[in-house]
A and B are shown apart, each in its own frame.
Chain A
Amino acid sequence: MTATFDLWKFTKSVLFYALVVFIVVVSVFPFYYAILTSLKSGTDLFRITYWPTSFDLGNYASVLNQGSFPRNLLNSVFVSAVTVIGALFIAVTASFALSRVRFRGRGLLLMTILAVSMFPQMAVLAGLFEVIRALGIYNTPWALIFSYTIFTLPFTVWVLTTFMRELPVEIEEAAIVDGASPWVIITRVFLPLMWPALVTTGLLAFIAAWNEFLFALTFTSSNDTRTVPVAIALLSGGSQFEIPWGIIMAASVIVTVPLVVLVLIFQRKIVSGLTAGGVKG
């Protein structure tokens, strides 16, 4: 009797760990395989292997030495960084108002902000194109910085509002009694307390901007102004056999590794940032 019970328990934990292993393998394998491919060259590429067989950095060399890929990387860094800084700057004061001051229409405004962050970017593409042409920033990084605000700003406002709401009311009241104006409260009391939240939010917005494709594809038109997602998407030859898979995988790995490292370092913060605002219903 006891023996069968233990057997059942054993089977259960074996099945559980099998599931765990399955989840991990499925999650990681494509990335692993991309690395593996990027280290192959020539005809090796077309020999399917499950384990690393060669270590050839030739693909990385060609990605970084020819064409505009290094330039695209710089563009991506610049666009994402400026977008995030701009969004955070605007979002901090706005989220103070949204989380700390009660005024008529606040609930509606919050819903609108959420709606903007969720609505299809396709719906504004034509109008944005016109605005960007009118501003004369078509085919420059500023076109992307400008257009990315549509998703980074609502997102940062939403998350920072959630974070700021959690700050104790009494600290703010103590500051009010001390004679602090709202601006002083934000800059000298709240901001120092919000660094973790700002880092998390900024990081998430950075990743979103870094990965953006539709606007980048539409509002840039030359190799030198593109960001990496577009550059990778357009790295192709004429027919299927000419697709430079090795180089594409090398570029993919270069683009992804910094993100993966960041995500693993800030794991906990990212999880809390992703779920903030979402699950408090």
Chain B
Amino acid sequence: MATEALAPPAAGAGPRIKSELTQQRLRAARWFLVPMLIALAVVAGWPLLRSIWFSFTDASLNNLYGAEWIGFGNYLRWQVLESGTVRWRGLLVDGAWWNAVWNTVRFAFTSVFFETIFGMIVALVLNAEFRGRGIVRAAILIPWAIPTIVSAKMWAWMLNDQFGILNDLGMRLGLLSQKVAWTAQAETAMTAVLVVDIWKTTPFMALLILAGLQMIPKDIYEAADIDGVHPVKQFFRITLPLVRPALMVAIIFRLLDALRIFDLIYVLTPNSVATKTMSVLARENLFDFDNFAYGSAQSTLLFLLIAVLTMLYIWLGKVRFDGGDR
């Protein structure tokens, strides 16, 4: 009841008497929100609309303002050849684009899958009481704190085909029969990217899951112990269901982040078709190949794809963010 304080009744019942206090607070709230709303409109809302608009034009990097509306041409257009056959062109029939989509989705789901498993393991370890727990927690924060670019470079060096320590280690342990050019070969490039990403982001996952674990009251486990429930069963019947809300939120945060991946791939495996994601491809078109409009179309599709996936996830997973209607 105390938290209901200061709140006028919900809409519908309609407060017939709006006191000076309520009015003053509503007025203040409005002014307090204005700077944020303007800032977000200028850096997010307007640029988003402009990007979408560009995708329907023939804009080029040096001719942003002379851009003309060409409709859906960047997405799909056709040409009737003299022979009478119809040739489809545009983003929706672009093999390179669909390859990038596939790469992105494959990357995002694989990395989040492994991060969730490893994050859960790390979180369970950190949730146990043992000597040196503080050191472990400090240690796992290090990958999180290292800038992505820096970790890409560090791993690029470790994965180096000739002088990389990982090849050396693999050969010494007998896991590899010859040195592998991890980042350069098409077959291993995606694995390399996944390894670095999982290494870098598992800590975030672990911390979010740990926070969820720590909200589970200890006495539930004590009760289960007394009832003689096997620890493995305890995990699946108690821990997992109770940590599920935290887990679902952590997964969507990570998934959205993975779907927009750019920097790691740009640095670790530049120009590799096997790892080129939507973001990398779109930026290439926008700024390197001077296909500004085409790149905009790719950005727009990327945005749409992520928006649809997110809504599906929230809807199917019944995820509740703390919307904070208190």
Contacts and interface: CB of A to CB of B under 8 A. Distances in A.
| A touches B in complex, CB < 8 A | yes
Interface of A: 16-17, 19-20, 23-24, 26-28, 30-31, 33-34, 37, 45-46, 48, 50, 90-91, 93-94, 96-104, 106-107, 109-111, 113-114, 116, 118-131, 133, 146-147, 149-150, 153-154, 157, 161-162, 165, 169-170, 172-173, 176, 181-183, 207, 210-211, 213-214, 217-218, 228-230, 232-233, 245, 248-249, 252, 255-256, 259-260, 262-264, 267, 270-271, 274-275, 277-281
Interface string B220-262: 0000000000000000000000000110111001001101101
B163 A103 contact: no
B105 interface: no
Interface of B: 2-3, 5-8, 11, 21, 24-26, 28-33, 35-36, 39-40, 42-44, 46-51, 54, 64, 121-122, 125, 128, 130, 132, 135-155, 157-158, 160, 162-165, 168, 199, 203-204, 207-208, 210-212, 215, 245-246, 248-250, 253, 256-257, 259-260, 262-263, 266-267, 278-279, 282-283, 286-287, 292, 295-296, 299-300, 302-303, 306-307, 310, 319-326
Given A103-B29, A182-B29, A281-B249, 6 more contacts: A20-B130, A30-B151, A102-B7, A120-B299, A125-B282, A153-B39
B165 A133 contact: no
A275 B211 contact: yes
A275 to B, nearest CB: 4
Given A157-B36, A260-B142, A232 B306 contact: no
Nearest to B11: A104
B158 A30 contact: yes
A149 B36 CA distance: 10
Nearest to B40: A116
B146 A260 contact: yes
Contacts of A176: 6, 21
A183 B31 CA distance: 10
Contact of A256 (B42, B146, B162, B310): B146
